[in-house]
Structure formats: structure tokens, C-alpha cells
Amino acid sequence: MRIGVQLGYAGGPQDFKDTAEQVAELERAGSDVVAVAEAYSFDAVSQLGYLAAKTSRIELVSGVLPIYTRTPALLAMTAAGLDFVSDGRFRLGIGTSGPQVVEGFHGVPFDAPMGRTREVIEICRAVWRRERVSYEGRHYQLPLPGGTGLGKPLKMINHPVRERIPISIAALGPKNVELTAEIAEGWQPVFFYPERADDVWGEALRAGAAKRASELGPLDVMVGASLAIGENVEDRLAWVKPQLALYIGGMGAVGRNFYHNLATRYGFGEVANHIQELYLSGRKAEAIDAVPDELVRQTSLIGPRGFVAERVAAFAEAGVTTMLAGPLATEPSEALRFMEELRALTPANM
């Protein structure tokens, strides 16, 4: 199991510069991966470029870039550019996000998520191979038919560092997870509950794996989890609840919230309905209080060292190959300690 850090949405400039120094320190301590989030925050690309200059070994992952907010060619160009400035250390993490962000913030229709995801990946890989990209998909056509240009396919001017940059997909629904297991190098699920993961996703993963090309290699299951290790960190369960309440309660309308659906499939349907009702009626503090400790505990790494060791083993048993931790720390030294202890608890180091 690889160990990495998952960065949240950056605050002020100095906050991010301090975070970048922490990432460099984590790299020296042996961390393998850093993932940078993007939703309706600062963009992830500028931060990943900054991190590329501050590090030398750690893999850089976008976690994740929504496919609707950039053209497929721009996604390919961006990935190739980040791979270039990092000397081949970039992984393109993509996802559909949801209507709340795509339509509400970007004003772009949220449609055909599976079809668009497949076509985006096919176009990206053609760009990285420096092919003259002539593509006739259902959702994307290159060159644009009837456009005012010359109508000739183009290929990337630069030579990418790699013609096959790894791609990970953030997917939750069964069909999207099946697609991910078929065509992507990695999968980035959210709020991963290891004991219930096979019930929720196992069939989809196996169906996708049956169609998977051998050159893709094994699927890298990249899971994020909040992290705090110690005898007196129980209070930090509450630190996770605002995010869970936001996603379960507020990231989408009733019937169109993927995170609410996931909580329901985990067996928390009634409480998910309650959280959503509270959140959408403006009672956010009550929605946060309604998030059960059990859901936080089982999807996080928070507790005494022995308990966290058991949770790490459970994640590994469920097929997790990369653990992206989000340290819940009061100061940088504590975050570094949590990460070092987590690394010591991974199966290879036990």
C-alpha cells in the first residue's frame, strides 16, 4: 500500500506555501503521493505546478479535475504540461463532479457522464501519442464539423514526457465504477467504507475488470481518509462531520445527490434523508450534528494506534492500494507525526 497526503481546498497564499513546505517534508519522510482537490475552489493545476517545483520524487495527482469544465484537448495539454514540469510524476485524476458544481458554478449542462468520460480519455491518450486527432464521438468531434477553421486534424506541438500518463477516475455509481475498472489506471472513490465496499461496488469492479486491457495493469484503488492517531483524538471525529453533512445533505437536489445515494447504500438511508432535509432547509448546524460517529469512524483513520492499525488492515483487505490521508492536526509537526505513524502501520512496514 502506498501512502500519500490529500490536500484540502487552499486558503490564503501563505497557508498554501506552508502546506507546500509540509509536502516537501513528507516527501523526505517517504510519502509516495500528494493529491490536490478541485471543486469550486482555487484551481488544482496552479497548485500542482507549484508543488512540482518544490518536490522531486512524490507523485502529483489531481483529485479531481471535472471533465465538463475543460475540453478533452485542454485536459490532455494540462496533464502533459504538469507531467513535463514534474519530470513524469503526474497522474490525471478526473471525475464528473455533480450538477451542483457543473451547472451551478460553471453553467455547463451535466449530461452523459459515462459517455463523456470514455471519450475524454480516448482523446487524451491520442493527444499524448501525438496523433493528428480526428475523433468522431457522440459528444466530442475533432475537428469541429462545419467549423470556420481549415478542418484539418492537429497534433500536439510538444513531445510529452510520456505517451501514456496514468488516469484515475473518481466514480461512485455502479456503471461509472465498472467503466473505471475497464479503462482507467486508477479509481478514486470517496467516503470509502471498507467492510461494505464489496457489497456496494464489488460486482461493478469485477464486471469492468473482465473487459480490462492487460496493458493497464492492476487497478490502483486510491482512497482518501481523515487521519488522527493518538489516545486523545476522539474529538476530531467532529472535524469530519461538516464535510460529510455538506456532501450528503447539500451536494445535489433530492434524488440527484450521489453522496446521499452512497450513504444509503452503506445502510445509512434514514439518517442520510434526515441530514439532507436539515441541510436543504438551511439548518446546517443540525445537519452536522446528525452525522453519526459510526459513519465517520468507519470511513476515517481516527483513534488510538491499535485501532488505526486495524482500520488500515481493513482498507488493505478491501483492495485499497493507495491511502491518501488528510491529517486533522493542530500544527505541522503533529501532521508530520500522524503521517509517519501511518506509514509505519501499512502492511509492508508492520
Could you list the mean pLDDT of each consecutive 10-residue stretch along the chain, which spans 350 residues? Answer: 88 77 93 93 94 97 96 98 98 93 94 97 98 96 84 94 98 96 97 97 98 97 97 96 95 90 96 97 97 97 97 97 95 92 84
Nearest alpha carbon to residue 90 among 8, 185, 11? 185
Residue 311 inside a domain? The answer is no
pLDDT at 324: 97
pLDDT at 10: 59
Residue 346 inside a domain? The answer is no
Do 194 and 260 fall into the same domain?
Answer: no
Residue 160 inside a domain? The answer is yes
Q: In terms of residue numbers, what domain contains 210?
A: 2-226+319-340
Is residue 228 left, alpha or beta, with left meaning phi > 0 and alpha meaning psi from -120 to 50? Answer: beta
Do 259 and 177 fall into the same domain?
Answer: no
Do 102 and 116 fall into the same domain?
Answer: yes
Do 287 and 254 fall into the same domain?
Answer: yes
Largest CA distance in the chain: 67
Rounded to the nearest 5 degrees, what angle is found at the Cα of 48, between the Cα atoms of 134 and 63? 75
Is residue 142 within 8 A of residue 73, CB to CB? The reply is yes
Nearest alpha carbon to residue 63 among 97, 42, 45, 36? 36
Residue 16 inside a domain? The answer is yes
pLDDT at 11: 61
Residue 222 inside a domain? The answer is yes
Do 214 and 241 fall into the same domain?
Answer: no
pLDDT at 282: 96
Q: Total domain count for the chain? A: 2
Do 291 and 325 fall into the same domain?
Answer: no
pLDDT at 13: 58
pLDDT at 14: 65
Do 212 and 238 fall into the same domain?
Answer: no
Do 53 and 200 fall into the same domain?
Answer: yes
